[in-house]
Amino acid sequence: MGINRAAKGIVLVPTLLLGGAFLATAAWGPAAAAENKPLAIVVGCVLIGAGLLAQLMPEPEPETRSPEVRAGNEP
């Protein structure tokens, strides 16, 4: 099964939302969790990067049958 646009979108949206949530938590989170801010920044950046990287994956060319195969299968 090939990679298609819908699958890319299914990967992109959650990773961007979760990555943004982690980055927002790092920026506006409580001061008591200051030691976790670097971890939240790293996780957020990795998620956003993974979502964007999934968009760069090449889509396979659609399969086409050669004229010989079509001629052999048609009555």
Average pLDDT for consecutive 10-residue bins of the chain (75 residues)? 75 93 91 89 96 84 64 57
Q: What is the DSSP letter of 56?
A: T
What does the pLDDT read at residue 38? 94
**Do residues 15 and 48 touch, judged by C-beta distance below 8 A?**
yes
CA distances from 33 to 11, 25, 26, 36, 69 (A): 29, 10, 9, 6, 65
What does the pLDDT read at residue 49? 95
Q: What is the pTM of this model?
A: 0.71
Cα separation, 70 vs 72, in Å, equals: 5
Cα separation, 56 vs 33, in Å, equals: 35
